[in-house]
Amino acid sequence: MTARVAPHRGPAQARLATHVAPPPSDSAILPPLHLLDENVQRLIRYKARRMVGKAGLTSSDVDDIAQDICLDLLSRWPTYRPERAQSSTFIARLVEHKLATILRHRRSQNGTPTVVPH
């Protein structure tokens, strides 16, 4: 690894520069523009519609569920690590986890058990 040394820096600062991580780029902080592209929106709407009838959710709840998922996705995007999974996997898992959280919360409000006994 070679260090870029500014003219006013000495060897000690150059050694430090090789061990300090660069600041995150804007792309690491901001979600990519395709994050909520048509396919992702379609997935979210599909999953939200499948929730109708579960834990008292109705078709009028679909937009609220989809919005909750989108907000959760945007807020959690900074935790995405491309070396661990593809973005599509991250998005699909996040959607599934958010839906489970919504169901758990809704069932706890309605007094419906979260686990159905066999």
Could you read off the pLDDT of 10-28 as tens digits, one per residue?
555 444 444 444 444 444 5
| Residue-wise pLDDT tens digits, 31-83 | 565 678 889 999 999 999 999 999 889 999 999 999 999 999 999 999 999 99
- Whole-number Å distance between alpha carbons of 103 and 39: 24
Closest to 67 measured CA to CA, from 43, 89, 48, 87: 48
Please report how many Cα atoms fall inside a 13 Å half-sphere around the Cα of residue 27, on the Cβ side: 5
DSSP labels for 17-54?
A: HHHSPPPPPHHHHSPPGGGG-HHHHHHHHHHHHHTTTS
What pLDDT does residue 37 have?
Answer: 86
Q: What are the structural domain ranges in the chain?
A: 32-110
Phi, psi of 50 (to 5 degrees): -70, -15
